[in-house]
Amino acid sequence: MYEDFHTTDRWTGEDLHCRWKANIVAIATRHADAVDVRFDVNGRPVWIAMPCLAWVEQKKRTGHVITDTLAAQAAGRYLKKAIESGYDNGREMYTMTIEEVLSQVDEVLHEAGHTHNLPYLVPLDDAQPQV
């Protein structure tokens, strides 16, 4: 679905290959109350920051949690829509609101039918830059 996809940049017409790389709890890395989902877009890193309160709201709203896979899919869908709408301007980080996270989660679940239909996330050796 949205862990490895191609989309077309609205302004340039360029084909962009977007690949999920990692979910990282941003509390440790940026002291932010968020989960950062990393994608490579034609080789450049792009981060989607998802506020942790979205996990709390999803649990209150539905009784179900946002899994790592569901978070990656929701972030990937958000990224795809940003690129296709022209909102992508080459920046490295996008910050989603709680409402945007919940909306993307709903859309992904609607498309998939159930969380057990979501593709597995395969950790890649190149997810973290080598220092």
48-73 per-position pLDDT tens digit: 999 999 999 999 999 999 999 999 99
Tokens of 79: 């990224």
**pLDDT tens track for 28-46:** 778 889 999 999 999 999 9
- Angstrom distances, CA of residue 53 to CA of 5, 9, 24, 65, 99: 27, 31, 15, 12, 10
3-class DSSP state for residue 25?
strand
- Angstrom distances, CA of residue 52 to CA of 23, 96, 111: 12, 11, 23
Helical spans, DSSP H, in the chain: 26-30, 53-62, 68-85, 98-112
- Angstrom distances, CA of residue 119 to CA of 6, 65, 73: 16, 17, 9
Spatial CB neighbours of 130, under 8 Å, sequence gap ≥ 6: none
In this predicted structure, what is the pLDDT of residue 84?
93
Place of tokens 């709203």: 61
Which sign does the torsion angle of CA 112, 7, 85, 76 carry? positive
Decide: 84 and 8 in contact? Cβ < 8 Å: yes
**pLDDT tens track for 101-113:** 999 999 999 999 9
